[in-house]
Structure 1
Amino acid sequence: MSEPSERARPPYARIVDSIHARIRSGELGPGDRVPSTRQITREWGVAMATATKVISTLRQEGAVEVVPGVGTVVRGSASPSNVPGKARRGTSSAHEDRQGRSDVALSRQAIVRAAIAVVDAEGIDDFSMRRVATEMNVSTMALYRHVAHRTDLVSAMIETTYREAEFPELGEADWREALEKAVRWEWGVFRRHPWLVQLSVTAKPYITPATMGPTERMMRVITAEGASPDTALEVVTILLGFTDGMAAQGLVVEQPATREPDPSHWWHERAPDLSGPAGRDEFPTVSRVSRPPDIDKIFAIGLSRLLDSLAPMIEGAAGE
């Protein structure tokens, strides 16, 4: 393949090829963990959505699988299959070595962790109990002995994800520093697990003890300034609404309708449409933009301004 055509390939595809090469060379053997999404973002300098696409593609090809409590590992056969899940039941794998084929090896927590790994890699849109069962190499019915239904499983996934994120200690910090720390924590959770963003803006949001805990702590910070619980909840709702909205905007920028997960690739591919004569006439300002927005930078700027604007609402309550 020529160098120009190689550069034209999507970034995720080049990274997939690189990991396949490590498997073929023996650098990564059966049962070895492959680079996580965070490691991929650091090593190749790509967005989290691109890293997620890499893992998803490797799994669809049959090169890797999820082992609950371990992570994503190279399957027992170093040669990937082009058919997702093919040869899974006839081939010894790292999953089977650790978990076995028996339903007895299942547990609620193992199912939850496998489900989180699936949606981290593939998103929540097509998530199903059947998909988790496929990853765990068990029957779908076997899962129902530990989780009641899909909603029960998703609630457990959210609870586990939030608890393991370890909400920061707010300590004796002033209200502004404490709230900023709390909101940045929420932002980090969303950026690591984009599927949570989609669930947070549904008509019937999932509420669990772990998701309510941060709200309670933030409200305590605000009521300590003399505000009523009602005012505290209003402030928290404004802050979390901003965070949810920015995180959702991040999904739009980093994984637009074309499903191409790398924002810079998508942007530059379409830049000629905007910078051409028709684009300049219809969108004279947009056509002069040189790069996609940095969502993390914009979030930080917006949060600072938002906290400024909320100061009278929080501090003014003490004088009422």
Structure 2
Amino acid sequence: MAEPPYLRIAAEIRGRIADGRLRPGDRVPSTRQIARDQGVALATAAKVLTLLRQEGLVHARPRVGTVVAAPATAAPGATGTPGATGTPGATGTPGAAGTPAAPVDAPTPAGEMSRERVVRAAIELADAEGLDALSMRGVAARLGVATMTIYRHVAGKDELVLLMADTAFGELGYPGEPPAGWRARVERGARTLWAVHRRHPWLAQLNSLFRPLPLPNLLIHGEQLLAAFEELGFDETTRMDLQVVIYSHVQGLAAHLEREVLAEAATGLSEEQWMETQEPALGSIAASGRYPAFARLLAGFADDGYDLDLDRLFELGLRTLLDGLAGSAREVRG
């Protein structure tokens, strides 16, 4: 009997780990890459990574993908079961209290399944490989169960994505009394939203301003902002507009986190490697003389380059928005 494709592909990756071609922390091929390069279905590719996770050889790293585990956490045998210190799920999605979620990579008997476990596994899959890689079959493969088992807990992918989003938005709350002053409250709300999107970049792909999702845990963040804007005496339309502006600032930056994961998976190039391929074209544009401000900017970065730091940009944008809002508030109050 021919060896199943997923076992053959897993053996190839296992061999690359064993001989050092893939070292701890290195990214292994994503499900999308495996499917494309090996000519197999995404579900088969998902089974490859699930098997390697069960062996403790790899684990998911949010916003990076699936990477080789450190030797101390890898199981010694190809068919071994991960121990307490080597369980890939230890890097899983934190719960509401900020503690690591229970492992979800090990095969689970159908009788022990729950909607919560399905949702958590789906979140981990989307964190590691992007929302485009999410499928019911992929989640089932990650949990080591038949696809129909998943349908006993969620009606389909659309429902699953909504459950994932509501769970993710609910991970970070607002304990204790709110800080004094509208600005401190807006800053807390915006930074919490940013932290949630940092954990789960795929969230930025979901919520359209024209078709907002009716998610209770998303509204928790909106409530923080709206209550702060009430303090300023703005009317209903202005309060809604300001909430949209703050959320759009978070969402707009966070969208690039997911796009970079997908771009690296598609091209095989890191951000730095891709920029190196663009340097001749950028240099030619700067040398044309048509864009003097751009040329001066590039010249200023000649020695140290430019570090695209989204956290810095988030804080810059938030500060700029709130400085402008403070001026508007003074005008309203006369």
**TM surpasses 0.5:** yes
Note if 1:157 corresponds to 2:164: yes
Structure 1 residue 191: Cα displacement: 1.5
Deviates more, 1:160-169 or 1:182-191: 160-169
- TM-score between the two structures when normalised by the length of structure 2: 0.65
In structure 2, give the amino acid aligned to 1:268: E
Per the TM alignment, residue 256 of structure 1 is displaced from its structure 2 partner at its CA by 4.3
Residue 173 of structure 1 pairs with residue 180 of structure 2? yes
User: Post-superposition shift, 1:225?
Assistant: 2.8
Task: Measure the CA separation in 1 of the matches of 2:141 and 2:209.
Answer: 27
Task: Say yes or no: does 1:304 pair with 2:319.
Answer: yes
SS for the counterpart of 2:223 is helix
Change over 3 Å in CA distance of 1:253–1:33 after alignment to 2: closer
What secondary structure sits across from 1:173 in the alignment?
coil
**1:78, 1:261 → 2: CA distance?**
32
| Aligned alpha-carbon RMSD (Å) | 3.7
CA distance in 2, matches of 1:97, 1:310: 45
- Tell me if structure 1 keeps the 8 A contact 2:105–2:144: no
- Note the residue ranges of structure 2 that are not aligned, 5 or more in a row: 1-19, 27-52, 88-102
- 1:10-159 to structure 2, matched below 5 A, reads 16-19=22-25, 37=61, 49=63, 52-53=64-65, 55=66, 78-79=77-78, 91=79, 93-94=81-82, 101-159=108-166
Q: Is contact 2:121-2:139 (8 Å) kept?
A: yes
Distance verdict in 2 for CA 1:99–1:35, change over 3 Å:
closer
What is the count of residue pairs matched by the alignment?
Answer: 260
C-alpha separation in 2, matches of 1:98 and 1:129 = 15
Q: Are the structure 2 counterparts of residues 316 and 15 from structure 1 closer, same or farther at C-alpha, using a change threshold of 3 Å?
A: farther
2:278 paired residue among 260, 270, 276: 270
Q: Structure 1 residue 172: deviation in Å?
A: 3.5
Letter in 2 for 1:181: R
- Is 1:227–2:242 an aligned residue pair? no
Offset from partner CA, 1:79-102 (integer Å, 9 cap, x none): 4xxxxxxxxxxx564499996553
Q: Deviations over 1:226-246 (max 9, x none)?
A: 233332222111111122112
Q: Could you say what secondary structure the match of 2:171 adopts?
A: helix
Per-residue deviation, 1:206: 3.1
CA distance in 2 between partners of 1:107 and 1:129 (Å): 15
| Amino acid in structure 1 at the alignment position of 2:115 | R
1:49-91 deviation per Cα after TM superposition (whole angstroms, max 9, x unaligned): 4xx23x2x55xxxx89xxxxxxxx85x6744xxxxxxxxxxx5
Instruction: Provide the rounded CA distance (Å) in 1 between the counterparts of 2:209 and 2:327.
Output: 31
- Structure 1 length-normalised TM: 0.68
Aligned to 2:287: 280
Quote the Cα distance in structure 2 between the aligned partners of 1:309 and 1:108.
Answer: 44
Partner Cα separation in structure 2 for residue 249 and residue 220 of structure 1: 29
Please state how far the C-alpha of 1:217 moved relative to its aligned partner: 2.0
